[in-house]
Structure 1
Amino acid sequence: MVEEASVIERFQALVRGGNGSLLDFLPPFEDAVTVPGTATLVRTHFVAHDMNGAPAVEQLAGAMAEAAVDFCIPRDKIERALAESARTGSAAPIVSLNEQARDLFVKSAGSGEGGELLLFLLLERVLGRPQLISKMPLKTSSAMHVHGSDGIHASLAEDGVLDVYWGESKLYQSSSAAFKDCFESIAPFLKDDGVEERKRDLLLVRDHLNVSQAALAAHLLEYFDESNPKTLRVRWNGVCLVGFDHKKYPNLSALDEKQHQALSQQVGRWHETIGGRLDEFELVGVNIDLFCIPMPDVNALRTRVLKRMGAM
């Protein structure tokens, strides 16, 4: 039991960064809500405003761009660069990683990789679930997107159950299209008949596990070995990010009671839409964390992230 506790602690220590600055720029609206009749927990966030009353898109884009190396580059490569920097006193190895991360992104404001980056941040810094695989280095071309799910993270419980979280992100102008396409995309990984979709991604996890500690990696890989009974201790879950344009963008810190109530009613309508889509794609019984993030302009955020990274 002591050994298992040590494994859990080492696994949890893989989480990178704190949630402070991220949630300062992306504060929650009210408490998380479980959609009635489902196992989906919805967290609604809005972009914060500065003292001049402008949405803090630039600051949020900066926080996202700063996480590009963590998102794109495997941990062992980051650790080697940090060790080399400490040995030589030069920042060159770290600068090189930033350049590599930048070059992996699709150079297009319409790319979905900005959503994947934000989803990664929410998974690690808000939910505290470490990344199992960094898919970005597996791309054969910077003009291509990664295949399969938008991210694979996990948590390890005291009872030895490994919860695997399949990620899907959609940043669209339309909320209706974003919810529909998000659940349609993630459904194959979460339904009982999604064995082949899961298997393809899990083969990548097995071959490219983003864990540099040999003993911890060996322990985790047992969960993905079909001949090992630990495969019976794996549970599938989903994490979704749905972002969309929202007119008359609210400043949460300046809402009066009437405005807060009106916004709460709007959020409730989004919950109803989510419930309908979950039923449509037969996902009502699956554990899903959903981040609902209305934005002033999703394309503007994607563009600002790429510019902050120097990718366009």
Structure 2
Amino acid sequence: MEGNLDKIGEMLKDLARGKLDDISSFISPVVKHQYNDNKVDCYHLKVDANGRPRLTELIKYMSLKITDYAIPRSKVQAALSKLAQTGSTEEFTRLTLEARKLFTKLEQSGEGGELLLFALTESILKYPQILCKMNLKTDEQVHFHGADGVFLGVDDDGMLSVFWGESKLHADHSSALAECVESIASILKMESEIDSDIRLIDFIDLDNEQLEKAIKEYFDFNSPNYDKLKSCAVCLVGFDHVSYKFDPAKKLTNEDLKAKVEHSFNTHWKKNLERKLAENNIQFCKVIFFYLPVQSVDNFRSTFRKELGLA
């Protein structure tokens, strides 16, 4: 397998958990945009037949992902083996409780956004998370510093691409975008904790020793395969948007939402994004953005905390 990126790429895709059909029940694509090597997929949160945003349903879907997100694959596989041997789900219950304890109780935590970024990246892009940074936290109430996630895939240009994740949820689009781009720029330009993040590759857990060994070759600067490793980024930018504002005279529909969000993207957000990328000198790096305007990011956080029993 060593040096066979096609095979590595297929194996990585197979490891990605979740399906596009699952998450498309809650969010809907609005517009796609490409700027140099940067790509933006803009979505809106769907509303139900009564015009109510489906935030609670999205949060419930996300909460089902906490074990996949926070617990290393080898531990999950061990629980599967025990289930097959004993018929008991005891080990899975233990892992789920362990996963929930890893989430902070801080009200302004960004961990809900990080979990959503994980779900989007694995289910839509098919780039699997290669290590569980939540599991490496030394204190349950302290965030792990550095990138919000580490994902891996083989790109169209035949490079092994490590995607450093960044999630920012702010009430204002401009501040969410600015902070996100600045954070990811410091990582892509080797200005922050990326060296420690690269050392974290020692903790890679794909429950496949042969695949892990092949991948680690690309992170070794003494290896000829190092030239085929590319640093990229995947980002979630979430913010409040007036399109969800309740109007007693008119029921909100998904068609209305799409039109309003698309208008905002084409008239404001797109230009702002391109300007921020250029200002931070990463306009030619590969960065994939998930844009998700919501009714209220504060409501997103509080609903997430209640669902996980953290409130």
Q: TM-score, normalised by structure 1?
A: 0.91
- In 2: Cα distance, 1:247 partner to 1:160 partner: 42
CA distance 1:67–1:204, shift in 2 (3 Å): same
CA deviations over 1:167-222 (Å, ceiling 9, x no partner)? 1100111111101100111111112xx166332111001x2102111111111111
Instruction: Quote the residue 2:193 is aligned against.
Output: 197
Q: Give the match's secondary structure for 1:46.
A: strand
Instruction: Quote the residue 1:56 is aligned against.
Output: 54
Instruction: Quote the residue 1:25 is aligned against.
Output: 26
- In 1: Cα distance, 2:76 partner to 2:148 partner: 21
Identity %: 34
- In 2: Cα distance, 1:18 partner to 1:200 partner: 31
Instruction: Quote the residue 2:109 is aligned against.
Output: 111
Asked if residue 221 in structure 1 is aligned to residue 220 in structure 2, the reply is: no
CA deviations over 1:239-293 (Å, ceiling 9, x no partner)? 11100011241755242xxx86554321111111111111111111111111111
CA distance 1:172–1:161, shift in 2 (3 Å): same
Instruction: Quote the residue 1:13 is aligned against.
Output: 14
Q: TM-score, normalised by structure 2?
A: 0.91
Segments of 4+ moved more than 4 angstroms: 157-160, 259-262
- In 2: Cα distance, 1:2 partner to 1:117 partner: 31
Is the Cα contact below 8 Å between 2:44 and 2:258 reproduced in 1? no
Q: Give the match's secondary structure for 1:238.
A: strand
Asked if residue 283 in structure 1 is aligned to residue 282 in structure 2, the reply is: yes
Deviation at 1:311, TM superposition (A): 2.9
Q: Give the match's secondary structure for 2:50.
A: coil
Q: Which amino acid aligns with 1:33?
A: H
Instruction: Quote the residue 2:98 is aligned against.
Output: 100
Asked if residue 292 in structure 1 is aligned to residue 287 in structure 2, the reply is: no
- In 2: Cα distance, 1:196 partner to 1:114 partner: 23
CA distance 1:159–1:306, shift in 2 (3 Å): same
CA deviations over 1:104-146 (Å, ceiling 9, x no partner)? 0011331011111011111100111011211001111111001
Gaps of 5+ in 1: none
Q: Give the match's secondary structure for 1:108.
A: coil
Deviation at 1:160, TM superposition (A): 5.5
Instruction: Quote the residue 2:88 is aligned against.
Output: 90
Gaps of 5+ in 2: 246-251
Instruction: Quote the residue 2:248 is aligned against.
Output: none
Is the Cα contact below 8 Å between 1:170 and 1:241 reproduced in 2? yes
CA distance 1:277–1:196, shift in 2 (3 Å): closer
Deviation at 1:2, TM superposition (A): 11
Q: Which amino acid aligns with 2:212?
A: A
Q: Which amino acid aligns with 1:173?
A: A
- In 1: Cα distance, 2:73 partner to 2:235 partner: 24
- In 2: Cα distance, 1:282 partner to 1:158 partner: 23
CA distance 1:254–1:261, shift in 2 (3 Å): closer
Aligned length: 303
